[in-house]
């Protein structure tokens, strides 16, 4: 099956999710990303602690802290909502949370949309050229983005280059991200 073929069913979305579950360590992605103005001008970064099969941005998390940027990671608060908490230490400020993911402690400061300039990195198993991302199917990022004005932050889907220009069905509640970050480049979404 060609990855750019029309994936018009939920079965095909599941197929894409299975295909993309490979650990991806990408120090070059980090090196390139930190050279972009988008990163350099940002004072705070909403990011994620990668699961075993997501693009590994752990080096970027450390670099952001070294660069004195405020780093926020998501915590699942209930079955439909996540909140970003400030992390200052990737060892002491994290614990195993929902779905077996490393999440920040609830006692840490919460990110507020008035904090600018902010960029958000969201993990993606696949993306469309329009910036729609295929995640794990829980809708947490879409609900989070619907709760904040997306003009207050630059949103970036982090995806393996193999899955960066797929075609799959989107739903009314799906929110496209502004950029797509792969191992090779930062692509502005065609909205």
Q: Which residues participate in the annotated binding site for substrate?
A: 54
How would DSSP label each residue in 50-92?
A: PPTTSEE-HHHHHHHHHTT-EEEEEEE-SSS-EEEEEES-TTT
How would DSSP label each residue in 7-26?
A: --SHHHHHHHHHHT-S-EE-
Among 41, 43, 61, which Cα is nearest to 112's?
43
Among 168, 141, 182, 188, which Cα is nearest to 16's?
168
Distance between CA atoms of residues 68 and 27, nearest Å: 20
Q: Which residues participate in the annotated binding site?
A: 54, 133-141
Q: Which residues participate in the annotated binding site for ATP?
A: 133-141
């Amino acid at each position: 099956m060609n990855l750019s073929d029309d994936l018009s069913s939920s079965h095909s979305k599941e197929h894409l999710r299975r295909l993309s579950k490979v650990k991806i360590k990408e120090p070059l992605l980090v090196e390139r990303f930190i050279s972009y103005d988008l990163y350099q001008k940002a004072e705070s970064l909403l990011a994620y602690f990668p699961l075993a099969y997501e693009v590994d941005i752990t080096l970027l998390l450390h670099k952001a802290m070294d660069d004195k940027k405020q780093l926020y990671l998501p915590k699942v608060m209930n079955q439909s909502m996540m909140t970003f908490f400030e992390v200052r230490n990737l060892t002491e400020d994290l614990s195993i949370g929902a779905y077996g993911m490393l999440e920040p402690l609830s006692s840490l400061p919460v990110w507020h949309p008035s904090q600018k300039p902010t960029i958000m990195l969201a993990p993606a198993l696949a993306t469309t050229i329009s910036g729609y991302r295929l995640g794990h199917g829980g809708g947490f990022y879409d609900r989070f983005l619907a709760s904040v004005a997306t003009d207050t932050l630059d949103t970036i889907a982090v995806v393996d280059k193999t899955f960066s220009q797929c075609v799959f069905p989107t739903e009314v509640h799906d929110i496209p991200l502004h950029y797509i970050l792969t191992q090779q480049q930062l692509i502005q979404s065609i909205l």
